[in-house]
Chain A
Amino acid sequence: MEKSCTLLIHFDKGTPAIANEIKEALEGNDVPAKIDAMKKAIMLLLNGETLPQLFITIVRYVLPSEDHTVQKLLLLYLEIIEKTDTKGRVLPEMILICQNLRNNLQHPNEYIRGVTLRFLCRLNETEIIEPLIPSVLQNLEDRHPFIRRNAILAVMSIYKLPQGEQLLVDAPEMIEKVLLSEQDASAKRNAFLMLFTCAQDRAVSYLLTHVDRVSEWGELLQMVVLELIRKVCRTNRAEKGKYIKIIISLLNAPSTAVIYECAGTLVSLSSAPTAIRAAANTYCQLLLSQSDNNVKLIVLDRLNELKSSHRDIMVDLIMDVLRALSSPNLDIRRKTLDIVLELITPLNINEVVLMLKKEVMKTQSGELEKNGEYRQMLIQAIHSCAIKFPEVASTVVHLLMDFLGDSNVASAIDVVVFVREIIETNPKLRVSIITRLLDTFYQIRAARVCSCALWIIGEYCLSLSEVESGIATIKQCLGELPFYSVSEEGEATDASKKTPQANSITVSSRRPAVLADGTYATQSAASETAFSAPTVVQGSLVSGNIRSLLLTGDFFLGAVVACTLTKLVLRLQEVQPSKVEVNKATTQALLIFVSMLQLGQSPVLPHPIDNDSNDRIVLCIRLLCDTGDGIRKIWLQSCRQSFVKMLSEKQLRETEELKAKAQVSHAQPDDLIDFYHLKSRKGMSQLELEDEVQDDLKRATGEFVNDNDDANKLNRILQLTGFSDPVYAEAYVSVHHYDIVLDITVINRTKETLQNLCLELATMGDLKLVERPQNYTLAPESSKQIKANIKVSSTETGVIFGNIVYETSNVLERTVVVLNDIHIDIMDYISPAVCTDAAFRTMWAEFEWENKVAVNTVIQDEKEFLNHIIKSTNMKCLTPVSALDDECGFLAANLYAKSVFGEDALVNLSVEKQADGKLSGYIRIRSKTQGIALSLGDKITLKQKGGG
């Protein structure tokens, strides 16, 4: 068992304190100097010095000191010194401090008594405690609550010691008596806690005799009561009935902490709907009443847990949970939305969407900085609502389309993606969406949104009127041609002069559209006025949004415009009976294409048009000049088909994920079976879960070690020295989260005693040795187990190297055996993780460290290579399998992993099959820190060869 550590103090190694100085100061009479020396001594001890010679000095000169601070420091000193020898026996000199402790326990100063009692709580050595027991017990009846409090705790910790029950046979009785007469809240709590931990039945009987006063007890005591109830019910399920009433009475307690605890207890005791509802209601109340964000978030966590275990009950509370959206904190809002989205049902969907809509509107009015992000969140939420319940789409889609022109690009993109999906899945809404989109198109500011909107226009304008107004809208947004003229001034005046004209043209071209379908007449008219008004205003400022984007050099958008126009014209050919009109539209489109190309080659812009866009526009020109049926089919149908395929793919993936989730929650073969018609087992459940809770503390203190199988252990043994070396050493390396433990076995292979044998270790990389090495004496042919702890502070490949130094009796000089290096593998620290595509991209853009590894492998197949890399790097492939499916001679995939320290590791793999069948390409690793990028790169370089 490793020593426990009770305090840490930063110690500046720059100012070394010499043991002699400390000793002198301690021996002197100057109190401040003594205090100083004591502090220094404690700090040295904390830093691994042992200072054995100091103990006697302290016993002689510090123990008798009258000063309170000195006494307190003395207790700290006693707390941290080694009190036992290597075999676990108490050192004989420790008896010297007993007298002092006893005096302190009877000291006239109550605070000295108190701190001494508190010190006893941390003492484990029965031999020291035994003589002190009478004095401790005396303090139980002290006048000061401060003393009683600590005395009770001291009794508790003594009783908890291995032989404690013999030391203090009647402690529970005593404490029970104390509890009956105690008035101080804290002391009462401690007494109850003592009974709770040491004599549970007494605590229970006390609780039950005072059942009607529980609600009047202090907050601290109530908390322990709840803890007791949980524990009792865990071991004895049948008892539960007695306690529910207590919990209910505590639900009305004044202290919020108690209420919170109550709700938790209620959930853990019962799964009856009423109990869960009460707990959930309590959480909701806390959610609203508490202003602290931390509390809100944790309460939301609890609600989330409830949601997964008792969804049916939480569904009723959905609106209460939604009210948490009133908090301005984005994390809270996100969590709330996450919970709510999983609770929507056909019954409450309308209410929820209404609320979300209101929230969206609120974001329009207020000028809060986070509004954009929040709106994005809301839009995503509405989006997923609409996917689950397509009928709500009609109520929200128009509202959302107002945000197409949002200055927050991300939320605008979300909207447009949403619209794209809805228009495909909800054919009924198509017409209204298209009209609306055409009306609001001019507001769109961002290029990406614009291109997506253009795609929708190109794909979903089907009727003649729609196609025509689509073409008109695009033309209008492009403004007057040409895009530039030699004289800048001329162009500006031209544009301002001619826009009104263009406007009137569009209006006229729209008219037949309106007439074609009477039902749209009013809508169209309304949009027309809305449309024309801003254009006039805009005409003088900027001529069309696409135009201004093009003029900044975004030719990708130009290509999209060209494609859209081509599609529209192709469709026009199908729906427009008048050949003249078609030809007119075709020529106009061609004119636009040509002027775009012209703009691309002009010197006005800083960059000329890129080849891709150039090719694409040229292709469009060709297409319009010479159309074949095959190409027409591709343009008018195949695009749409692949989009439909993508959607269904997405749906499929989601359902599969759901299925996988559902699979997990199925019952285990050895689960208890509920016979609904017999006595319901409700409320008995969750006990298995509770057991885990109990381990929580143990896990938190690191006491909890799950033993791996020993065979696995043997695999990780490293030989450190040769068999013919005088000292043989081997190490078993176990890697925990933040530390590495080396279990080193050292065997003396000689016939001589090795003295002062010391294992000196040094590290390279982000590793740190925790303890200073100690010296051992090794008898002939005997062995010794040495443990070394090494702290890791970041994900990085590290090397531990060192040597064993020893002396033999006949040779005075020290002999050194150099050890084999121990490499710490980065793979122990990273684990596969998932992140969204967008997050991956932002991180990719953000991270500073990139390591580029050229592919060099014997593996011939791209997919096999990818799998090999995934396997050897312990990362998760973010690219969906379907995207990697087909044989096309090249492959690109994103891999992602997270380290235990929360660092991200990104890998992009791009490979192409060469003509000779070999793979070539690059693997790029990006991370925030150099360590990961380098180590992961090394790892990949080492492993990528494969084949073997």
Chain B
Amino acid sequence: MVVLAASILSKSGKVLVSRQFVEMTRIRIEGLLAAFPKLLGTGKQHTYFETENVRYVYQPIEALYLVLVTNKQSNILEDLETLRLLSKLVPEYSVSLDEEGIGKTAFELIFAFDEVICLGHKENVTVAQVKQYCEMESHEEKLHKLVLQSKINETKDVMKRKASEIEKSKIDKNRGDKGGFMSMGSGRIETSLSEISIPSSGSGFGSGSGFGGLINEVDSFPTKSKGRQPSSATAPPKGSGMQLGKSQKTNQFLESLKAEGELIVEDAKPKAGQAKAATALLTDPITLTAEEKLNVTLKRDGGMSNFDVQGTLSLQILNQEDGLIQVQIETGGNPGILFKTHPNMNKELFSNENILGLKDPNRPFPTGPAGDAAGVGLLKWRMQSADESMVPLSINCWPSVSGNETYVSIEYEASAMFDLQNVVISIPLPALREAPSIRQIDGEWRFDSRNSILEWSIVLIDNSNRSGSMEFVVPPADSSVFFPISVRFTATSTYSDLKVVNIIPLRGGAPPKFSQRTNLVTENYQVM
């Protein structure tokens, strides 16, 4: 399905214009086109011929030949359509259909050919579209120019104003007054303030207590369900599009193919997609997920500038009938943690009995399909601390320059509170061509040359390796290059130590099965 070249030749075989769409050498294309008039027989009623390697499809236009050179596997029906389109285009651009005329408009023709065939593949275009593309009349550009013009005008106005102001101030200065200066300065401050105010307000919301987080979570519900829709819409009908109409015939066809030993898979499903879904697939009817996100900023010479834990408890119910439940939880009793329930929750029930239930007991919890791990948020909590002992993992990085090299030794120390999994410590390095030489390491390392980052990874930190170190050598560099070091890890226990004790079905009966997940992840864990 590839057009190698589109060319226009004169009757005598002279190549007037030729545009190649795949890479080929000049000698090759010239050879192919030189062979064309020789192979062109007379008195035939068809307009193609094949050689050992290529197929020529052509159309005579007055004193010219419009030729497409394609490979032999190419789809003739498509090629003919392309040829037809090109043959309509040629007279559009070339007034006189002879050697001279084509020579004059050679470049225009090449531009037009480019619009019709792209990398050897046919584009879905009409003559009018090609003309439009080639004319390049752009509304956007006009607008852009207008905007530009107006900006210039505006700036000119400003300039004039400023000039007059300066004039004025000069006059004022001459009068010996300082007021003019003041007014100009204050104007500047105003504008800068208004610029700053936007980001500052945004960040204020984000870092604002649990309430702000809750709002975010609530907001995210509709967007997620939207995202789900297409997948759910496509998944259930099994090849119904095919079964419609000619289904019977198709089935017969398939049956007979099968009978002949052809292997037919009736419902072909993507492999990769399935694999992905499987990890998140929930088998239990009710799942509760407690997740804590850790935002920690440590100072490079010890000390902590920020420590913030945000947790959520989310509930996911697969079946509608399991929706009428309440959840009894147990917290670790950490006094530093403030819990906040979802606005729809019965607050009293929670504060008195540690039971999470909806305000309206007749309403079920919303259900969500499998494959979406988010679920419904029930509870949020937050913890801030200045206590350094709370830090799960501290990093100590010592770059030291010695002669032509910088030795960097890094060590980590993990608190006994958690067992950390999949720890990755990313150390930025100066731009290096080769990987740094690692002198000693506990764990594994990887060098990402594009971002110039050294990643030190330890699969599991538990009691056997609460501390570890690494040493590597790089060409001399400033010690600040190696910061900020960022750390990623996960853990299966949390600060809040929140546990779901029981699920109470409101309609009586045995408590349904549920599964519980707890994890701690790092959101932003840095050593500055």
Count, A-B residue pairs, CB within 8 A: 289
Residues of B within 8 A of A770 (CB): 26-27, 30
Asked if A738 and B32 sit within 8 Å, CB to CB, the answer is: yes
B261 interface neighbour in A261, A682, A701, Cβ under 8 Å: A682
B118 interface neighbour in A118, A278, A294, A696, Cβ under 8 Å: A118
B16 interface neighbour in A9, A118, A213, Cβ under 8 Å: A9
Binds A, one of B132-140, B357-365, B385-393: B132-140
Contact A211-B239, Cβ < 8 Å, known A331-B46, A701-B28: yes
Contact A212-B265, Cβ < 8 Å, known A202-B272, A205-B273, A274-B260: no
Per the bound structure, the CA–CA distance linking A680 and B263 in Å amounts to: 10
Asked if B246 and A252 sit within 8 Å, CB to CB, the answer is: yes
Per the bound structure, the CA–CA distance linking A73 and B119 in Å amounts to: 19
Residues of B within 8 A of A169 (CB): 450
Q: Within the complex, what minimum Cβ distance (angstroms) separates B141 from chain A? A: 4
Q: Within the complex, what minimum Cβ distance (angstroms) separates B248 from chain A? A: 13
Asked if A256 and B77 sit within 8 Å, CB to CB, the answer is: yes
A121 interface neighbour in B106, B119, B239, Cβ under 8 Å: B119
B80 interface neighbour in A42, A111, A238, A295, Cβ under 8 Å: A295
Residues of A within 8 A of B450 (CB): 166, 169
Residues of A within 8 A of B268 (CB): 208, 211, 241-243, 245
With an 8 A cutoff between CB atoms, is A693 at the interface?
A: yes
Q: Within the complex, what minimum Cβ distance (angstroms) separates B229 from chain A? A: 13
B99 nearest in chain A by CB position: A10
Per the bound structure, the CA–CA distance linking A2 and B27 in Å amounts to: 10
With an 8 A cutoff between CB atoms, is A697 at the interface?
A: yes
With an 8 A cutoff between CB atoms, is A150 at the interface?
A: yes
Residues of A within 8 A of B107 (CB): 9, 39, 42, 73, 76
Residues of A within 8 A of B70 (CB): 700
Interface residues on A, range: 35 or more
Asked if B48 and A189 sit within 8 Å, CB to CB, the answer is: no
Contact A185-B124, Cβ < 8 Å, known A76-B110, A216-B241, A245-B266: yes
Q: Within the complex, what minimum Cβ distance (angstroms) separates B152 from chain A? A: 15
With an 8 A cutoff between CB atoms, is A108 at the interface?
A: yes
A301 nearest in chain B by CB position: B50
What are the interface flags for B428-459 relative to A under an 8 Å C-beta threshold, 1 for contact and 0 otherwise?
Answer: 00000000000000000000001000000000
Residues of B within 8 A of A776 (CB): none
What are the interface flags for A268-303 relative to B under an 8 Å C-beta threshold, 1 for contact and 0 otherwise?
Answer: 001011110010000000000010111101100000
Q: Within the complex, what minimum Cβ distance (angstroms) separates B198 from chain A? A: 24
With an 8 A cutoff between CB atoms, is A204 at the interface?
A: yes
What are the interface flags for A297-332 relative to B under an 8 Å C-beta threshold, 1 for contact and 0 otherwise?
Answer: 110000000000000000000000000000001111
Per the bound structure, the CA–CA distance linking A68 and B16 in Å amounts to: 24
With an 8 A cutoff between CB atoms, is A6 at the interface?
A: yes
Interface hits, A560-587 → B, CB 8 Å? none
A5 interface neighbour in B2, B25, B102, B141, Cβ under 8 Å: B25
Interface hits, A724-745 → B, CB 8 Å? 736-739
Contact A213-B38, Cβ < 8 Å, known A76-B107, A204-B270: no
With an 8 A cutoff between CB atoms, is A626 at the interface?
A: no
With an 8 A cutoff between CB atoms, is A257 at the interface?
A: yes
Residues of B within 8 A of A9 (CB): 16-18, 103, 106-107, 110
Q: Within the complex, what minimum Cβ distance (angstroms) separates B410 from chain A? A: 27
Interface hits, A182-226 → B, CB 8 Å? 185-186, 189-190, 193, 201-202, 204-206, 208-216, 218-220, 223
Interface hits, A141-158 → B, CB 8 Å? 146, 149-150, 153, 157
With an 8 A cutoff between CB atoms, is B143 at the interface?
A: yes
Per the bound structure, the CA–CA distance linking A680 and B48 in Å amounts to: 39
Residues of B within 8 A of A903 (CB): 38
Per the bound structure, the CA–CA distance linking A256 and B143 in Å amounts to: 43
Contact A205-B263, Cβ < 8 Å, known A737-B31, A791-B27: no
Q: Within the complex, what minimum Cβ distance (angstroms) separates B90 from chain A? A: 15
Most buried by B among A76, A189, A241, A699: A241
Q: Within the complex, what minimum Cβ distance (angstroms) separates B55 from chain A? A: 8
B262 interface neighbour in A39, A190, A219, A682, Cβ under 8 Å: A682
Per the bound structure, the CA–CA distance linking A223 and B450 in Å amounts to: 38
Residues of B within 8 A of A153 (CB): 118-119
Q: Within the complex, what minimum Cβ distance (angstroms) separates A577 from chain B? A: 60
Asked if B121 and A274 sit within 8 Å, CB to CB, the answer is: no
A218 nearest in chain B by CB position: B124
With an 8 A cutoff between CB atoms, is B95 at the interface?
A: no
Asked if B75 and A223 sit within 8 Å, CB to CB, the answer is: yes
With an 8 A cutoff between CB atoms, is B15 at the interface?
A: yes
Interface residues of chain A: helix, strand, loop or mixed (majority): helix
Contact A298-B48, Cβ < 8 Å, known A212-B237, A901-B38: yes
With an 8 A cutoff between CB atoms, is B72 at the interface?
A: yes
Q: Within the complex, what minimum Cβ distance (angstroms) separates B294 from chain A? A: 27
Residues of B within 8 A of A252 (CB): 245-246
A202 nearest in chain B by CB position: B272
Asked if A331 and B45 sit within 8 Å, CB to CB, the answer is: yes
Per the bound structure, the CA–CA distance linking A210 and B233 in Å amounts to: 11
Asked if A294 and B46 sit within 8 Å, CB to CB, the answer is: yes
B73 interface neighbour in A73, A215, A696, A739, Cβ under 8 Å: A696
What are the interface flags for B98-122 relative to A under an 8 Å C-beta threshold, 1 for contact and 0 otherwise?
Answer: 0100110011001100100011011
Asked if B141 and A108 sit within 8 Å, CB to CB, the answer is: yes
Binds A, one of B249-257, B417-425, B465-473, B516-524: B249-257
With an 8 A cutoff between CB atoms, is B14 at the interface?
A: yes
Q: Within the complex, what minimum Cβ distance (angstroms) separates B109 from chain A? A: 9
Per the bound structure, the CA–CA distance linking A791 and B30 in Å amounts to: 8
Contact A212-B241, Cβ < 8 Å, known A110-B140, A241-B263, A244-B257: yes
Per the bound structure, the CA–CA distance linking A220 and B117 in Å amounts to: 12
What are the interface flags for B1-43 relative to A under an 8 Å C-beta threshold, 1 for contact and 0 otherwise?
Answer: 1101001000000111111101111111111111100110000
With an 8 A cutoff between CB atoms, is A248 at the interface?
A: yes
Q: Within the complex, what minimum Cβ distance (angstroms) separates A173 from chain B? A: 12
Interface hits, A529-565 → B, CB 8 Å? none
A298 nearest in chain B by CB position: B76
Residues of A within 8 A of B238 (CB): 212
A209 nearest in chain B by CB position: B270
Contact A4-B262, Cβ < 8 Å, known A186-B124, A243-B268, A245-B254: no
B81 nearest in chain A by CB position: A257
A7 interface neighbour in B20, B123, B138, B273, Cβ under 8 Å: B20
Q: Within the complex, what minimum Cβ distance (angstroms) separates A753 from chain B? A: 32
Q: Within the complex, what minimum Cβ distance (angstroms) separates B203 from chain A? A: 26
Per the bound structure, the CA–CA distance linking A877 and B26 in Å amounts to: 38
Per the bound structure, the CA–CA distance linking A149 and B262 in Å amounts to: 38
Asked if B241 and A248 sit within 8 Å, CB to CB, the answer is: no
Interface hits, B142-190 → A, CB 8 Å? 143-145
Extra A-B contacts (10), CB below 8 Å, given A209-B270, A683-B262 = A2-B27, A245-B250, A249-B250, A257-B75, A297-B48, A329-B45, A739-B28, A791-B31, A901-B39, A903-B38
Q: What are some 20 contacts across the A-B interface (CB < 8 A)? A: A3-B25, A4-B20, A7-B17, A9-B18, A111-B133, A112-B138, A115-B114, A185-B124, A193-B121, A208-B270, A241-B265, A244-B254, A248-B253, A249-B250, A293-B45, A298-B76, A696-B71, A700-B72, A770-B26, A901-B38
A residues neighboring B (CB under 8 Å): 2-10, 12, 39, 42, 68, 72-73, 76, 107-112, 114-115, 118, 121, 146, 149-150, 153, 157, 166, 169, 185-186, 189-190, 193, 201-202, 204-206, 208-216, 218-220, 223, 227, 238, 240-245, 248-249, 252, 256-257, 260-261, 270, 272-275, 278, 290, 292-295, 297-298, 329-332, 679-680, 682-683, 693, 696-697, 699-703, 736-739, 770, 789, 791, 793-794, 901-903
**List of 10 A-B pairs having minimum Cβ-Cβ separation, nearest first:** A738-B31, A108-B144, A205-B270, A5-B26, A242-B268, A212-B241, A702-B28, A680-B261, A111-B136, A109-B141
